[in-house]
């Protein structure tokens, strides 16, 4: 068991150079630390990152240090004790970093891997590894200058080996560099927040390039980012689409480019349009992120309305790893695919891999290159290697 003796916190910089939280705990098993990523494109139903501000949360955690003192954690479900103490006092980022540090301490104390604390029943016979979802080209809020209105263009290699999937995505990303040089006069070899290529091409032109790679493809439309006054306001080229026109446009893209994965194709309140798209394309992954925000209530509504068949899970959207467990449990029960995801502002924290594997996610969305992305994928590769 782990006895928490003291808690401290400070800020560090994420991959975009913006401040995020870093929490350290002092226990009978030693000192353990964890950090939280930050998001650029955030659904309005996500829990606030910090109660009032990052600095206030740091102050609060230091003040609460005595409350944790002597608290005993013996298994994953004991995180409830921590949540009872801090509930309403800190934001989602701070809670996620705190609970991650506690799981690290517990894993060392029990001589186990973090994923084993979450799911002790995984065996070599039943084990499943998530497929990598790699962001190859970026647009939307993650990129600068003239760009696609869609936020991410994704590659999803179909292989049982995480290592092979990473190598396939890296090779594809290198190939895409030469395609972009040829097709985009304004291409400057720049990368965006998630280390994906930036281009002035629009979504159709980008998909035209990616189809040459012969890999399953997907898009994160992040449609809430350009929805307002009942219309989708496209900038490249400039035009407006109604709800019905958006459904028709996304449907054509799915057909023409054989898209396997479509995330947030509609505004975050429009469960109905998601539902219409899923009815049309039951074999594609219709994925909710801003729609569902790693929230059980939102997921229940999406299930009732048959809006999605896959859900993004971002642990720091909710902060509580117990809520993450509830979301995953419900998703599995209702046959909704689970996609564990990084954020645009990442750190070198790698616990996301243990969580994705422990909760037996179907997909792991984590970029392709960049040290903050690769550290997570490499951890997943390490888990697979050790289990084999």
Do 100 and 221 reside in the same domain of the chain? no
CATH of residue 372's domain is 3.20.20.120
| pLDDT of 349 strictly over 70 | yes
pLDDT digits (tens, 9 = 90+) for 182-207: 999 999 999 999 999 999 999 999 99
Nearest partner of 130 among 312, 319, 325, 286, judged by Cα: 312
Nearest partner of 172 among 182, 180, 162, judged by Cα: 180
CB 312 within 8 A of CB 288: yes
Question: Residue 244 class from Cβ within 10 Å (0-12 exposed, 13-18 middle, 19+ buried)?
Answer: exposed
Say what the pLDDT of residue 258 is. Answer: 98
CB 83 within 8 A of CB 95: yes
Do 170 and 271 reside in the same domain of the chain? yes
Cα 336 from chain centroid (whole Å): 16
Place of tokens 């401040």: 19
| pLDDT of 376 strictly over 70 | yes
Q: Which residue has the higher pLDDT, 267 or 43?
A: 267
Say what the pLDDT of residue 319 is. Answer: 96
Active site residue 194: yes
pLDDT digits (tens, 9 = 90+) for 120-165: 988 777 789 999 999 999 999 878 788 999 999 999 999 999 999 9
Do 210 and 332 reside in the same domain of the chain? yes
CATH of residue 109's domain is 3.30.390.10
Active site residue 167: no
Do 139 and 219 reside in the same domain of the chain? yes
Do 271 and 343 reside in the same domain of the chain? yes
Name the domain count of the chain: 2
> Which residue among 57, 92, 116 closes a domain?
116
Q: Which of 194, 198, 203, 372 is catalytic?
A: 194
Q: Within a domain: residue 346?
A: yes
pTM of the entire predicted model: 0.96
Do 257 and 327 reside in the same domain of the chain? yes
Q: Within a domain: residue 123?
A: no
Q: Within a domain: residue 126?
A: no
How many alpha carbons fall within 13 Å on the CB side of residue 63?
Answer: 10
Do 330 and 363 reside in the same domain of the chain? yes
Nearest partner of 199 among 214, 181, 226, judged by Cα: 181
Q: Which domain holds residue 108?
A: 2-116
Confidence tier at 72 by pLDDT (50, 70, 90)? confident
Say what the pLDDT of residue 287 is. Answer: 98
- Structure tokens belonging to residue 93: 């980022």
Q: Which of 147, 314, 365, 376 is catalytic?
A: 314
Candidate from 33-42, 50-59, 322-331 with smallest mean pLDDT: 33-42
Q: Within a domain: residue 86?
A: yes
- Mean model confidence pLDDT for the chain: 95
């Amino acid at each position: 068991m782990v006895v928490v003796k003291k808690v401290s916190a400070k800020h560090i910089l994420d991959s975009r150079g913006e401040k995020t939280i870093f929490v350290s705990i002092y226990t009978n098993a030693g000192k353990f630390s964890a950090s939280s990523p930050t998001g650029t494109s955030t659904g309005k139903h996500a829990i606030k990152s910090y109660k009032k501000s990052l600095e206030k949360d740091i102050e609060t955690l230091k003040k609460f240090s005595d409350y944790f003192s002597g608290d005993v954690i013996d298994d994953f479900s004991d995180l409830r004790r921590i949540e009872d103490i801090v509930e309403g006092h800190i934001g989602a980022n701070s809670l996620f970093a705190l609970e991650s540090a506690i799981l690290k301490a517990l894993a060392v104390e029990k001589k186990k891997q973090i994923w084993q604390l979450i799911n002790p029943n995984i065996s070599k016979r039943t084990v499943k590894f998530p497929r990598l979802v790699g962001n190859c080209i970026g647009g939307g809020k993650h990129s600068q200058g003239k760009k696609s209105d869609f936020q991410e263009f994704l590659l999803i290699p179909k292989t049982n080996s995480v290592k092979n999937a990473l190598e396939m995505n890296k090779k594809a990303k290198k190939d895409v560099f030469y395609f972009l040089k040829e097709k985009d006069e304004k291409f400057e070899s720049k990368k965006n927040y998630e280390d994906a290529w930036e281009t002035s091409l629009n979504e159709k032109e980008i998909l035209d390039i990616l189809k040459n790679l012969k890999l399953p493809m997907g898009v994160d439309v992040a449609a809430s980012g350009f929805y307002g006054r009942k219309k989708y306001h496209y900038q490249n080229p400039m035009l407006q689409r109604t709800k019905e026109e958006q459904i028709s446009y996304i449907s054509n893209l799915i057909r023409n480019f054989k898209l396997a994965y479509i995330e947030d194709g509609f505004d975050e309140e429009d469960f109905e349009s998601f539902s219409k798209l899923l009815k049309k394309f039951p074999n594609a992954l219709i994925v909710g992120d801003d729609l569902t925000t790693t929230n059980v209530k939102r997921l229940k509504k999406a299930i009732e309305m048959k809006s999605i068949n896959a859900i993004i899970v971002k642990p720091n959207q909710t902060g509580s790893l117990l809520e993450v467990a509830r979301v995953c449990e419900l998703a599995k029960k209702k046959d909704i695919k689970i996609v564990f995801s990084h954020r645009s502002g990442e750190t070198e924290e790698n616990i996301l891999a243990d969580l994705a594997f422990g909760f037996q996610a179907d997909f792991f969305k984590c970029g392709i290159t960049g040290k903050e992305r690769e550290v997570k994928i490499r951890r997943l590769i390490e888990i697979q290697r050790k289990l084999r």
